Amino acid sequence: MKILYIDTSNSGMSGDMLLAGLLGLIENPDELVNELNEISKFISGIVNFKVNLAKVRRSGIEAYQLEVTINEKKDHRSTKTLKEALNAFMEEKKYSMNATNYANNVLDSLITAEADVHGKLAEEIHLHELSSIDTLLDILGVTRVLEILGVFRKEVEISISNLPLGGGTVKTAHGILPVPAPATSKIIENSGISVHFGPIDNELTTPTGAALLRNLTFTCEKPHMTVEKSSFSTGQKTFTNFPNLFRIFYGESLTNNLEKYIEKIEIIETDVDDVSGEVIGHLMKRLESENVLDVQIIPAWTKKRRPSNIIKVLCSPEHKFEIINILLDELGTLGVRFTTFDRVCVERIYENIEIEINGTNYPIRYKISYIKTLDQKQLVNIKPEYEDLNKISDLTGLSLKKVQMFAQEKLKYFYQKLIKEM
């Protein structure tokens, strides 16, 4: 599996920086630059438009930079005009369906953010700065490179670093506004992008840059990878004591298929040798309704030569103090141990069907667990749910063992179904 790691820790994110960095990863980037120079044919009001990929030195490092010359007669184009130009270009240049959807989603993110900020309908919004042809340039260029790299064929996983937003203020068509700009703030809402403010008082992440990231499928984890190619790029701004150097790495994943299933788990334990079985039974009943993944009662023997029990509870880390409080309250124990561990927890789905027993159909759920790789699902287990088996046993008067035998007959059906889906 290929990996694309987007490192914005020393730059922030703008559309032109992402595009310049991506161009540095592909063969013959000038061919794509020449194609992008044709965008002006698809939108009116352009007197002069020229794109060039240059190399400049920043902090002693050679980096790619987009040199864009624009002379426009219009700066308040409608959303309809921009969308028509975007799609006309992609249709002529034969962008794939997935690439076309991505580009439209990016533009829609910008339009929706502006509409939310100004409290207007999307079709009534004029994007001001974002209506310039360079917005189309960034979207179309980034989309094309991602397509070339195989992102839309799901051949590449994307990982992004923590994103600096900057600080201070920025000058816009609506006056001086705080950083991040309102549209940027809207775009990063519920995006899953990990951000921080600063480290300098200037706009480091633009609405277009944020929209380009938001509409990708990504993780915020640092990847394990071999680097086949890397690229540095920079924007138009220069800062004191901040390099403004964007980095992007492309290579092969070293991640095992199971690594993506790693999650944190809390193990909480306490020893009790002075409470009755009734108290422990009541505790287990109470824990059933709490945020608990599992409870174990383990017989033990203390140093005082008395029989005891180890109460062991598994839960998510965010619920540990809630569970500890219950243990203290119910058991009167003087101490509780807790430790955070990693665990591998594979994917699972539930299938609902019916099984026939003596002429009557009974609903039952089957839990199917599997490991998902790039192009298939690796089956781990297929198992009928115990609660459903137990309910059917009560309804039919059959033993649980006999109900299990009826349920087993459906395992072949689910296995064959899963094989077809692979």
198 or 393: which carries more pLDDT confidence?
A: 393
297 or 222: which carries more pLDDT confidence?
A: 297
Q: What is the mean pLDDT of residues 213-229?
A: 91
Cβ(229)–Cβ(273) below 8 Å: no
Is 216 a residue whose pLDDT tops 60?
yes
Q: Specify the pLDDT at position 357.
A: 92
Closest CA to 215 of 193, 233, 230: 193
By residue count, the chain amounts to 422
205 or 348: which carries more pLDDT confidence?
A: 205
Q: What is the pLDDT of residues 171-201, one digit of tens each?
A: 766 668 788 888 899 999 989 999 999 889 8
Q: Specify the pLDDT at position 62.
A: 94
Q: What is the pLDDT of residues 20-53, one digit of tens each?
A: 999 999 999 999 999 999 999 998 888 889 999 9
Is 420 a residue whose pLDDT tops 80?
no
Where do the domains of the chain lie, and which CATH numbers do they carry?
2-255 (no CATH), 260-344 (3.30.70.1380), 347-421 (3.10.20)
Q: Which residues pair with 350 in a beta bridge?
A: 367
Query: Please, how many CA atoms are within 13 Å of residue 136, restricted to the half-sphere of its CB?
Result: 29
Sorting pLDDT into bands at 50, 70 and 90, what band is 413?
confident
Sorting pLDDT into bands at 50, 70 and 90, what band is 116?
confident
Closest CA to 212 of 182, 184, 252: 184
In angstroms, the CA 403 to CA 395 distance is 11
Return mean pLDDT, the chain.
88
What number of other Cβ atoms are within 10 A of residue 84's Cβ? 13
Q: Specify the pLDDT at position 295.
A: 94
Q: What is the mean pLDDT of residues 296-315?
A: 92
Q: Specify the pLDDT at position 134.
A: 87
Q: What angle do CA 115, 116, 122 make, to 5 degrees?
A: 25
Q: Residue 304, class by beta-carbon neighbours within 10 Å (0-12 exposed, 13-18 middle, 19+ buried)?
A: exposed
Q: Specify the pLDDT at position 158.
A: 94
Q: What is the mean pLDDT of residues 195-215?
A: 92
Rounded to the nearest angstrom, the gap between the alpha carbon of residue 322 and the centroid of all alpha carbons in its chain is 28
Exposed e or buried b per residue across 358-394, where buried means at least 16 C-beta atoms within 10 angstroms of its C-beta: eeeebebebebebbeeeeebeeeebbbeeebbeebbe
Q: Specify the pLDDT at position 350.
A: 87
In angstroms, the CA 226 to CA 371 distance is 24
Q: Specify the pLDDT at position 279.
A: 94
Q: What is the mean pLDDT of residues 245-271?
A: 87
Is 130 a residue whose pLDDT tops 70?
no
Contacts of 216 (CB under 8 A, 6+ apart): 102, 146, 151, 158
In angstroms, the CA 240 to CA 382 distance is 60
In angstroms, the CA 69 to CA 90 distance is 22
Reduced DSSP (H G I as helix, E B as strand, rest coil) percent helix, strand, coil of the chain, to 5? 40, 35, 25
Sheet holding 225-234, edge to edge: 46-58, 61-72, 225-234, 245-253, 2-7, 156-160, 218-219
Q: Specify the pLDDT at position 189.
A: 92
What is the percentage of the chain residues whose pLDDT exceeds 70?
Answer: 92
Q: What is the pLDDT of residues 49-81, one digit of tens each?
A: 999 999 999 888 999 999 999 887 765 678 888
Which segment of 86-90, 268-272, 375-379 scores lowest on mean pLDDT? Answer: 375-379
Which segment of 97-101, 178-182, 330-334 scores lowest on mean pLDDT? Answer: 178-182
- Residue 290, token pair as written in the block: 């709490």
Which segment of 196-210, 329-343, 408-422 scores lowest on mean pLDDT? Answer: 408-422
Is 256 a residue whose pLDDT tops 60?
yes
